[in-house]
A and B are shown apart, each in its own frame.
Chain A
Amino acid sequence: MKAYETVIGLEVHVELATKTKIFCGCTTEFGGAPNTHCCPVCTGMPGTLPVLNKKVVEFAVAAGLATNCTITQNCKFDRKNYFYPDLPKAYQVSQLYLPICRDGGIEIDVNGVKKVIGIHEIHMEEDAGKLVHDEWDDCTLVDYNRCGVPLIEIVSDPDMRSAEEVIAYLEKLKLILQYLGVSDCKMQEGSLRADVNLSVREMGASEFGTRTEMKNLNSFKAIARAIEGERKRQIEVIEYGKKIVQETRRWDDNKDTSFAMRSKEDAQDYRYFPEPDLVPIEISDAWLEEVRQRQPELRDEKMARYEKEYDIPEYDAALITSSKNVADLFEATVAICKKPKEVSNWLMVETMRLLKEHEMEPENIAFSPENLAKLIALIEAGSINRTVAKEVFEVVFTDNIDPESYVKEKGLLMVNDEGALRKTIEEIVAANPQSVEDYHNGKTKAMGFLVGQTMKAMKGKADPGMINQIVMELLQ
């Protein structure tokens, strides 16, 4: 078999974190009863007109600046016409001729090898609604809540050559967008969706092969699997002496395979033309500069600051800043308890472990910095020991409980009453003469046994230091 090279470009749809929709005042909040987050404008009732949400332009410009794009200071919207029941106007307001950002790129790092992935363009558009099939009545219903939620589509150049590069690009993009605050990038809720354009060619060939477009990729893992699957499929087709058909394919992650949706021949003619209901967008130099000035600290800057300001190791800083949500949580918690290393440990060890266990993304961490700070304070005050703290943290993680009241309610506070503790130890020492003897015969391990018995009797709520001290005293 010949050697092949995989060529990949991505179209990433990102839902912007504006409070209201792109052309009306409806909320963009996820969920809600069907058709409760819409109005005559976003459902395209006859006679209604769009009014552009300026925040959408600001977010698109921020994304463009952070990905080194040139901002189109005189851009406009176009209509993309097609019939589908989830698209109430039968056209999507998008940008074809003059997208807001062009010619950018971001640097990725795969196993120490750095590479720039070009960004062809970023354009603004509106989301469509969603069809829901009612099995019971055998009919299809439509929910327009998502209609008009602002999106940006980030179109990369065909610069990626492997699934690793694709994932690195997506991770980087996601971090940039999260740090900018322009999107929460939750793949499960569809606020970040990627379509993969992939072709293969013989190693060293200068022309690109025929590409396919893969849709319905709902996680980074699915993307990696889909790339591998499609690469193999295309090579097989070519090796078999056949030609790749330019088509759109739908990835089925459960079946680990893709299916052809439509070929180029039945591709729709979208009959794009300038949207006459909106005026061209003029971005002044002054406003562009304003947005530039407002750009927040991105990851690399944040990492450097953490090492310097909080005196935490590079490893910690890298892990914490790998998610904007975790970094925000870190800073907020440190601001309360002033113990950076302690906070960093809880986030890096226990939080990461629990995320894995619950198969959650860092974006979905739900506990508050206040509660983590309280937990840390309880440990510092000697009110609970670390073993108990880990148990309490699991509940903080899942239910965001207040650790102070929780430990009180559950009776987990450490017994710092020396009298009661001494009494328990005296009983244990009396009940275990063999261990006492062993200790005096030089078997120091025996002391550990007595400490363990004490802790057991105290149900873990005693200060290990104090137990040690009393056991030692009694043994002497």
Chain B
Amino acid sequence: MVMTESKLQEGTPMTALALSAKIKAGKVKVEDVVRQQLEVIKKEDATYHCYITVWEEEALKRAREVQAEIDAGQYADSPLAGVPIAIKDNICTKGQRTTCASKMLENFRPPYNAEVIDRLEAAGAVILGKVNMDEFAMGSTTETSYFGITKNPHGVEYVPGGSSGGAAAAVAAGEAVVALGSDTGGSIRQPSSFCGVTGIKPTYGTVSRYGLIAYASSLDQIGPIGNTVADCASVLEVIAGHDAKDSTSVPTESYSYTSALVNDVKGKKIGIPKGYLGKGLEEEVKTAILRAAKVLEEQGAIVEEFDLDIVDLAIPAYYVLASAEASSNLSRYDGVKYGYRTPDFESLQELYKKTRSEGFGQEVKRRMMIGAFVLSSGYYDAYYNKALRVKALIKEGFDRAFEKYDVILGPTAPTTALKIGENLADPLKMYLGDIYTVSVNLAGLPAISLPCGKDSKGLPIGLQLIGKPFGDKDIIQVAYTFEQNDTV
């Protein structure tokens, strides 16, 4: 596989693949790589605030271990040997605090690793620390974090997107080579788009959710964020796989995502939903998306527009279903067992009420209240059941589309990064920004966001490619081809 680094900005860290090749060739020591990364973090994070917890000592210790293991001949096949990685702070790390960017879990140290952490460690990756996010992954700007906002490396007055804003910004700012995020309604793809990096939301069931602190269990999926399609494919290859600890994990034939890093889309059928180019889409974004489609067409893909007419229903259905699950998933934070507990209370009821009132932020409370409401007796059919039916319709709509197309192409978000504070006051407006991403989660599909230019403000624009169920390789191949042939 040939790497092209020409496209990368000067000063950005090299790709994971190039780095691990260099490490394995003995050209650079893991400890030096990690030390250098920690220095970048020290320098840049005062500005961008990507990290909640930096594992300075642990990372250096692990770097020395990995170096010794590499010297002993281990990790010969691993694309991540010695590669520094940042982890979204809703992924459990044994003995290391995992906060979900919430006061509720400010000092929570899980007694176990998430499955993906075990897999990363088995591949020789070195974890740099835990990165910022919207509280419990609820938000699209990383502004709802209890630990403060993360700033967009392409302009500090802009949000990095969310909820995996810390992960995307860390990669963009060179504070990590690659990162793990999680995506429930666009939380990997939208910040990747805003920060000008690449992120994959895999097919639901591809990556184990064991140890991912749940927001909406039926929609959550962990995925990689990196500088290139190849890096994302490599990380995905390491973290994907059947896990008996996750009942929703689905065994698939092949997890060899890097085998799809092929510069060829000849004959591939790519559909663009007309609804994805309509009202609400910024003109500059539209132009960039159509230009990207042209690039693929020039490479031999067959591109056409088609009707996917359920787009409008996706957002309300998503917010009903995700909030319903969230209201249940987050009920366990009650001050009894772990996490925040209100200092003063007279009764059990008061313990619950004050702990939860004080421990959760506003957006989390809003979604839990919506969720409790839509599940309540007398409203269940009108909201929850109806949303389930919409979900089924959305899935059917995509199924029909994938009878004709290999990949669906469109924007990741209707706009480029928003100014800090712009959306926080108007949650409905913020929710509408998820229009192109949430239906992918509702249908359980794989999707990738990758940079396809910048707007006049110099902010990155994200191209989204959606695949059929377990068609993760299809989108990787099309994305890789675009990346290799995009000359802008």
Contact = CB atoms under 8 A, between A and B. Distances in A.
A426 B98 CA distance: 92
A269 B377 contact: yes
B218 A276 contact: yes
Contacts of A51: 244-247
A125 to B, nearest CB: 16
B89 to A, nearest CB: 12
Interface string A252-290: 000000000000000001011100111100000000000
B402 interface: no
Given A40-B111, A45-B110, A271-B328, A83 B334 contact: yes
Contacts of B98: 46-47
Contact of B352 (A83, A89, A278): A83
Nearest to A142: B336
Interface of B is mostly: loop
Given A269-B376, A271-B372, A88 B337 contact: yes
B372 A47 contact: no
A150 to B, nearest CB: 16
A145 to B, nearest CB: 15
B59 interface: no
B111 A279 contact: no
Given A52-B247, A85-B334, A272-B375, 13 more contacts: A40-B111, A46-B98, A48-B210, A48-B211, A49-B248, A51-B246, A79-B328, A83-B331, A90-B334, A271-B372, A271-B375, A271-B380, A273-B375
A212 to B, nearest CB: 21
Contacts of A279: 247-248
Interface residues of B, number: 42
Contact of B114 (A47, A91, A277): A47
B328 A277 contact: no
Given A83-B334, A276-B218, A50 B247 contact: yes
A88 B339 CA distance: 13
A273 B334 contact: no
A50 B248 CA distance: 10
Interface of B: 91-92, 98, 100, 105, 108, 110-112, 114, 209-214, 216-218, 244-248, 324-325, 327-328, 331-332, 334, 336-338, 348, 352, 372, 375-377, 380, 384
A81 B328 contact: yes
Contact of B92 (A46, A272, A273, A278): A46
Interface string A33-52: 00000001001111111111
A37 B264 CA distance: 56
B337 A43 contact: yes
B217 A81 contact: no
A47 B328 contact: no
Interface in A76-133: 79, 81, 83, 85, 88-91
A91 B328 contact: yes
A273 B328 contact: yes
In order of increasing CB-CB distance, the 3 nearest A-B pairs are: A90-B331, A271-B375, A276-B218
B248 to A, nearest CB: 6
B105 A46 contact: yes
A278 B247 contact: yes
Contacts of A85: 334, 336, 348
A48 B372 CA distance: 22
A134 to B, nearest CB: 15
A276 B325 CA distance: 8
Contacts of A276: 216-218, 248, 325
A91 B248 CA distance: 19
B121 to A, nearest CB: 17
Contacts of B211: 47-48
Contacts of B245: 49, 51
A91 B325 contact: no
Contacts of A277: 214, 217, 247-248
Residue from A88, A89, A142, A273 whose CB has the most chain B CB atoms within 10 Å: A273
A276 to B, nearest CB: 4
A269 B332 CA distance: 17
B218 A81 contact: no
B209 A49 contact: yes
A273 B384 contact: yes
Interface string A300-325: 00000000000000000000000000
Nearest to A50: B247
A465 B278 CA distance: 110
A351 B483 CA distance: 83
A49 B243 CA distance: 11
Contacts of B372: 271
